[in-house]
Amino acid sequence: MHASLLQIGPDEGESVDSRRTRVASLVREQAGVDLVVLPELWTTGAFAYESFDAEAEPLEGPTYEVMAAAARDAGVWLHAGSIPERDADGHLYNTSLVFSPTGELAAAYRKIHRFGFDKGEAVLMSPGEDLVTVRLPETTLGLATCYDLRFPELFRGLVDAGAETLVIPAGWPERRRGHWSLLARARAVENQAFVVACGSAGAHAGVPQAGFSVVVDPWGEVVGELAHAEEGVLRVRIDPERVGVTREQFPALKDRRLR
């Protein structure tokens, strides 16, 4: 199974419509791989709080339409990062979209843990409630977003639901990059699962991004990494059978006592 992580970032001189078009072209360039992953809130920037309300869109809005078409044209499973979603009642969510190679919506995940404590996303966005997995031909994805990475119980729940590959788009700040790399490996080791973590490039509303998109195998070894915070594409080969082999050879998950 081959995956492409598109480490992109917002350009201050670029409209959201132009960014959608540019990113859709990048997705189409990944034809031939199995899974493509985009970062968190790439249409606005994860720290561009003042843009959330203005750029919020319904689930099946402009980003949905453009990304569905790109997934279909490329023939890939596409985790289209996340968007600021506005539901029918006016609530905002940080929502991830996953499309099948035919352009159908396979899953939507509303971010459960919102960052910001008493400001920003934490007060502007509503929390999601549901754990979400997606079955691909080769593996089962478990969906999480950025700040979720700090909450191991979420990933235990995803593993209990059958997840073998944990996909985490993020707008992670550069000043905590050490935590990003550490937690990505920790989630892989403790859950004996692949971690596919796609970071953002550049800066979001003046907040430098960590970049360093990374794929970690179930033993905690780094399969591939973009060792910078600039825009780029990380292409890796993932062997889904390593999950079962690791869990069989070192069956730590079977020894869990607290659930």
Residue 202 confidence class, pLDDT cut points 50, 70, 90: very high
pLDDT at 197: 98
pLDDT at 87: 98
| From 55, 111, 198, 225, the catalytic residue | 111
pLDDT at 112: 98
Query: Above pLDDT 70, what percent of the chain?
Result: 100
pLDDT at 11: 75
254 is catalytic: no
Q: How far apart are CA 93 and CA 56, in angstroms?
A: 9
Mean pLDDT score, 122-146? 98
pLDDT at 258: 82
Burial of 15 (0-12, 13-18, 19+ CB in 10 A): exposed
Whether residue 259 is predicted with pLDDT greater than 80 in this model: the reply is: no
Q: How far apart are CA 29 and CA 154, in angstroms?
A: 33
111 is catalytic: yes
198 is catalytic: no
| From 40, 55, 121, 164, the catalytic residue | 40
Mean pLDDT score, 103-130? 97
Is pLDDT larger for residue 97 or for residue 258? Answer: 97
**2-255 fold:** Nitrilase/N-carbamoyl-D-aminoacid amidohydrolase (3.60.110)
Which candidate, 77, 88, 82, places its Cα nearest to that of 148? 82
Whether residue 185 is predicted with pLDDT greater than 80 in this model: the reply is: yes
C-beta of residue 63 within 8 angstroms of C-beta of residue 86: no
Taking only the tens place, the pLDDT of each residue in 57-72 is 999 999 999 999 999 9
Domain boundaries, the chain: 2-255
| From 55, 85, 121, 146, the catalytic residue | 146
pLDDT at 10: 82
Mean pLDDT score, 97-115? 98
Mean pLDDT score, 164-191? 98
Whether residue 242 is predicted with pLDDT greater than 90 in this model: the reply is: yes
Task: Kindly report the average pLDDT of the chain as a whole number.
Answer: 97
Q: How far apart are CA 180 and CA 240, in angstroms?
A: 23
Mean pLDDT score, 123-135? 98
Structure pTM?
0.97
Whether residue 46 is predicted with pLDDT greater than 80 in this model: the reply is: yes
